[in-house]
Amino acid sequence: MYQDRVRLASLQGKVMSAAQAAEMIQDGMTVGMSGFTRAGEAKAVPQALADRAAKNPFSITLMTGASLGNDLDKQLTEAGVLARRMPFQVDTTLRKAINDGKVMFTDQHLSETVELLRNQQLKPVDVAVIEAVAITEEGGIVPTTSVGNSASFAILAKKVIVEINLSQPMTLEGLHDIYIPTYRPFREPIPVVRTDSRIGLPYIPIDPSKIEAVVISEKQDSCSTVLEPDDETRAIARHLVSFFEGEVAAGRLTERLLPLQAGIGSIANSVLHGLIDSPFKDMTMYSEVLQDSTFDLFDAGKLRYASGCSITLSERKNAEVFDHLPNYKDRIILRPQEISNHPEVIRRLGIIAINTALEFDLYGNVNSTHVCGTRMMNGIGGSGDFARNAHLAIFVTKSIAKGGDISSVVPMVSHVDHTEHDVDILVTDQGLADLRGLAPRERARKVIDHCVHPDYRPQLQDYFERACAKGGHTPHLLGEALSWHQRLEEAGSMRIEEPMLA
């Protein structure tokens, strides 16, 4: 049954139960697992860890590519397995533990985790647990729906557990392109020069003797939870499409645009959807997660090629795509996140990067991670890798949240993930602010005129005018700069009037 998937005969004797394999992981260890945006995570071994810890408590440092599916972060948190977690997560239970200071969370640029590992700036990985569709005749590991950090985890770990997932289609084989940068200081250029450059191997090359356990699983990936476009996200998409039209008219872009990156979440997904009815064609993507919108753009004949490091689809789209994967296979590639997000490649290709902000401020600083400056949402993810090096660094958000009690456009962001130096374009349902080449006071006027919700515009205008009267290159009133967030914490709304009773 699994023999055609464990092709190196010597490894067939290593097949064991998840619980047995999980014994390799002991208290205090560092474990690197596959998984990126709830795609391709190891499923059986983490479950076995949670089960064991419920009886015999122990804890580990867990590194992944990005978020895990199948509620694994929840179960691992509840079982107390997570002492430390990096570099990204999206789970409600884990988030609470992080915000309570119970799990130490290291929020990292997604291109950097394995660079730090390779340079021994993080504790070494004791055990890697990698989901695979197959192990090749050479002992190479063929990943499933994500590559994430799996390749470097497997290569750098002392021991490797491979989870062969029988529910992941064998047609995934050949989709991956595994390339590992050479060691510094003798590193050579990373040879990606187009979105479709194939530069590595279709499997993770490791010494097969490091594979100490093979576990067979069948659990499917969790489906994506992105919401369908709504009026606000459609408005955001419209503003962006007309901005791109302007760029084409000005000769700064062609109708192919430039390789697109779109962040996680509902807003970015629906912005990409907006391109289906745009005048652009023959587009390409150089992104992280390939969401529904990528395949809808293929189906609409708009997209020529997409490079990513994972595929996460809704239930609807999942069946469509995976039942017909060969139709897409010569148009997609999955790379390690170090390569999909690499500053070198992103700067070279000239990406259009579209990421979602929690909030941004008058001067173009963006908060992607911290609610009211203190409570972690998910993490910075790849947004910094892309925004810093993009041809266009675009951040989108709805102008208000929580029924209007929150303005996502504020005097000063309560946490900075992307500085004013790294942000070109801001878009809300209200409109688009083009900040390129502007000084802070000029940016503020654009943000007030185009992005803030009308309910908050007078309040923001008033702050800005009083701050300008006080002076400075970036005018602020220190005593009031964070007062909107304080009001939200204390009175439940950022509005200056008394909040209405709920």
Task: Specify binding-site residues for CoA.
Answer: 378, 382, 402
- Write out the binding residues for a second copy, residues 420-449 only, by CB under 8 A: 420-422, 424, 436-439, 441-442
Please, which of residues 147-176 interact with ligand COA by CB under 6 A?
Answer: none
CB 111 within 8 A of CB 389: no
Q: Which of 26, 6, 321 lies closest to 134, judged by CA? A: 6
Give strand pairing partners of 36. 39
Residues 122-181 touching a second copy, rule: CB under 8 A, are 122-123
- The CB-of-321 to a second copy minimum distance in angstroms stands at 27
Of 21-29, 71-79, 116-124, 377-385, which segment contacts ligand COA by CB under 6 A? Answer: 377-385
Per CB under 8 A, contacts with a second copy among 360-419 are: 365, 370, 372-376, 380, 384, 388-389, 391, 412, 414-419
- Output the smallest distance, CB 353 to ligand COA, in A: 8
Does a cis peptide bond (omega within 30 degrees of 0) precede residue 87?
A: yes
H or E element at residue 141: strand 141-143
Q: Which amino acid makes up residue 299?
A: D
- Residues numbered 244 to 283 that lie near ligand COA (CB under 6 A) are 263-267
Say which of 288, 338, 359, 420 is annotated catalytic: 288
Contact 337, 246 (CB under 8 A): no
d(CA 284, CA 302): 9
For tokens 């130096």, what's the residue?
A: 421
**Of 53 and 147, which CB lies nearer to ligand COA in the complex structure?**
147
Residue 324 touches which of ligand COA, a second copy, none (CB < 5 to 8 A by kind)? none
**Window 180 to 219, contacts with ligand COA (CB under 6 A):** none
CB-wise, 71 or 247, nearer to a second copy? 247
In 27-121, which ranges are E strands? 30-33, 60-63, 82-86, 104-105
Helices (H), 219-376: 231-249, 266-273, 292-299, 315-323, 325-328, 337-340, 343-349
Nearer to ligand COA, 47 or 150 (CB): 150
> Rounded to whole angstroms, how far apart are CA atoms 32 and 147?
13
Q: How far is the CB of 136 from a second copy (least distance, A)?
A: 30
Binding residues: 378, 382, 402
Stretch that binds ligand COA, among 53-61, 240-248, 395-403, 450-458 (CB under 6 A): 395-403
Print the binding letters for residues 172-201 with a second copy: x by CB under 8 A, - otherwise.
------------xxxxxxxx-xx-------
Quote the least distance from Cβ 387 to a second copy, whole Å. Answer: 11
Q: Is-catalytic flag, 288?
A: yes
Answer whether the bond into residue 185 is a cis peptide, omega within 30°: yes
Shortest distance, position 24 Cβ to a second copy, whole Å? 23
Residue from 106, 101, 103 nearest 74 by CA: 103
Q: Catalytic residue numbers?
A: 288
